[in-house]
A and B are shown apart, each in its own frame.
Chain A
Amino acid sequence: MIKELKKIARSSRWISLYRLSKEHSGIHLFNNTQELSDLQLIFLNWLNNYEEIIIDIVNKRTNLQIEDLEDDLRVEAYLYWKSQQKNDINKNEVKHGRR
């Protein structure tokens, strides 16, 4: 099921809808706007993940290509690697008193 949910989340239609919903408060992704279900929260998380990766691909910050979004293992690996990079940057900033 999660595999299918990811497939829907990375479709251009949903990614566009997600971007629009962030820019325009009148555009809603779901029929309910409050009390999102667990499924909707997971879906939102994946919409966000895919949008971030697409931005990284466009800006050539990753070796991944658009077609690699279908490879769940590579996508997960990239997201984990990215989170680790962020952690390292934060640790360095704390170490050098920048935060």
Chain B
Amino acid sequence: MEEINDTRLKEIQELSNTIQDLDAKVNIEEVIKNNVSIFEHEKIKYRLRKLTFEEKLELINFKGKKYLELVKNKEYLFEKEWIKIYKEREIDIEYKEKQIKLLSSQIKNWQLKLAVVNLPEEIKEVEQEITELRKKQIDYHIEISELMKYSIENKLNYLVQIYTLSIILEKQVEKEKYERVFKTFEELEKNTNNDLLAKATRIASIFMFLPEGDSL
């Protein structure tokens, strides 16, 4: 488990560096105003945009179909089933979730203190406590998401995000004209340009163009 965590932490660190790198390159203010993020990959301009209302409806249909497929497929398990399996292997996810809640309430107590302290050394001390508790909370979150990555919920979330990407990723064809890179979801599934997809996924996640969890 510790080993998995280290690998995951490394990945997160790399992602964090990429995000910082992207932050520097992408004009966030423009994305806030226009809901469009333009980026370059191998000297070609691409853009990502938010979904339209009609596309959101299309996505809900897709989500429903995929959910049914996953539920019917006995190879996939719900998070609750994974929790049971892990418990048999003495990995207690419910305990970890309780710890997250406990840490959250501890953080809130420290926040109430931070709001009223005045002295710089007191402020520093309380801020350190909050930062430490948040780190512990993040560790638990990483651990749980690692353990749950093969669940139906996670798989569905992944498929919805990839489907979204197939709709919102566009390539510049003329100065002001962009066209979808993947005309269909199937086309994206066959795609071999993993670098482009990885980059587009990161940018789309940063700017919340990809739906998360039950947000649909």
Contacts and interface: CB of A to CB of B under 8 A. Distances in A.
Looking at chain B's contact residues, is the secondary structure mostly helix, strand, loop, or mixed? Answer: helix
Contacts of A77: 110-112, 114-115, 130
Contact of B207 (A31, A39, A71, A80): A39
Nearest to A81: B115
A84 interface: yes
A4 B28 contact: yes
A30 B32 contact: yes
B71 to A, nearest CB: 27
Looking at chain A's contact residues, is the secondary structure mostly helix, strand, loop, or mixed? Answer: helix
B133 to A, nearest CB: 11
Contact of A63 (B33, B118, B130): B118
Interface in B128-172: 130-131
Contacts, number: 67
Contact of B23 (A1, A31, A37, A74): A1
B77 interface: no
Interface string B100-136: 0000000010111011101000010001001100000
A63 B116 CA distance: 8
Interface residues of A, number: 26
A76 B111 contact: yes
Interface residues of B, number: 29
Contacts of B31: 39
Contact of B32 (A40, A63, A80): A40
B208 A37 contact: yes
B47 interface: no
Interface of B: 19, 23, 28-29, 31-35, 50, 52-53, 108, 110-112, 114-116, 118, 123, 127, 130-131, 206-209, 215
Interface of A: 1, 4-5, 8, 29-32, 35, 37-40, 42-43, 63, 71, 73-74, 76-78, 80-82, 84
